[in-house]
């Protein structure tokens, strides 16, 4: 009887909203600075690996040229040195770019505090406006349609203390610069999100529920 009575109650209307976390993050100068620092680490690590690979190529070339002159014991030693260098490169690649490696740690150090601020502000707006769910409509999400009147991205930016529309203005400047054959003022914003090695956009948040 209790279950039937509950089912008979009218459905309570729930409020929904959406936010574009890509747009919000691009509008925060600290996020752009952190991205550039992370890109610098990535570039340095990639060069480090490239230098190691060049050393390996040289070792292999030298061995191929000299192997027919080497006695078996020296030939074996050189082959072991090559295998050791190969393993060194594999280990270094895992250390720099593997799961839980240097890239993940630097990303968490540089980007996560900013992302947490954004997430907490979204949660604050959701609680103040009594939204049941807040969906992320950034490029990484799968929201197919959302009316602009339910988009709280600018409200989140204002609460964070930043000017809404700054990222859009920068994008428009870069588009005009590209049309004129000039270098964009912020190259990282011209690169597709899925091609940025070190880019750390907030993962789809799904929904932020009121506590």
Domain spans of the chain? 16-195
pTM above 0.75, yes or no: no
Query: Between residues 71 and 185, which one has the greater pLDDT?
Result: 71
What share of the chain has pLDDT > 90, as a percent? Answer: 41
Does residue 12 have a pLDDT over 70? Answer: no
pLDDT at 14 (0 to 100): 74
Tell whether the model's pLDDT for residue 135 goes beyond 70: yes
Using DSSP bridges, classify how beta strands 133-136 and 16-19 pair: parallel, antiparallel or unpaired. Answer: parallel
pLDDT mean across residues, the chain: 77
Residue 208 DSSP one-character state: -
Q: With 50 as the cut, is the pLDDT of residue 210 above it?
A: no
Question: For residues 143, 148, 154 and 155, what is the CA-based torsion angle, rounded to 10 degrees?
Answer: -100
- Is the pLDDT score of 201 beyond 60? no
């Amino acid at each position: 009887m209790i279950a039937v009575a509950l089912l008979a109650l009218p459905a309570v209307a729930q409020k929904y909203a959406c936010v574009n976390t890509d747009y919000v993050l691009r509008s925060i100068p600290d996020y752009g600075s952190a991205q550039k620092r992370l890109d610098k680490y990535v570039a340095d690590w990639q060069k480090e690996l490239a230098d190691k690979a060049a050393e390996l190529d040289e070792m292999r070339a030298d061995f191929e040229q000299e192997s027919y002159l080497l006695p078996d014991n020296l030939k074996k030693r050189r082959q072991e040195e090559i295998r050791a260098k190969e393993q060194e490169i594999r280990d270094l690649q895992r250390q720099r770019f593997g799961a839980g490696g240097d890239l993940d740690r630097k990303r968490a150090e540089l980007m996560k505090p900013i992302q947490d601020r954004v997430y907490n502000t979204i949660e604050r707006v959701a609680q103040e406006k009594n939204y049941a769910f807040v969906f992320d409509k950034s490029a990484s999400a799968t929201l197919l349609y959302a009316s602009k009147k339910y988009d709280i991205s600018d409200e989140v930016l204002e609460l964070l203390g930043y000017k809404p529309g700054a990222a859009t203005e920068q994008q428009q400047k870069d588009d005009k610069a590209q049309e004129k054959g000039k270098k964009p003022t912020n190259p990282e914003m011209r690169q597709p999100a899925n091609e940025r090695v070190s880019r750390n956009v907030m993962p789809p948040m799904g929904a932020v529920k009121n506590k």
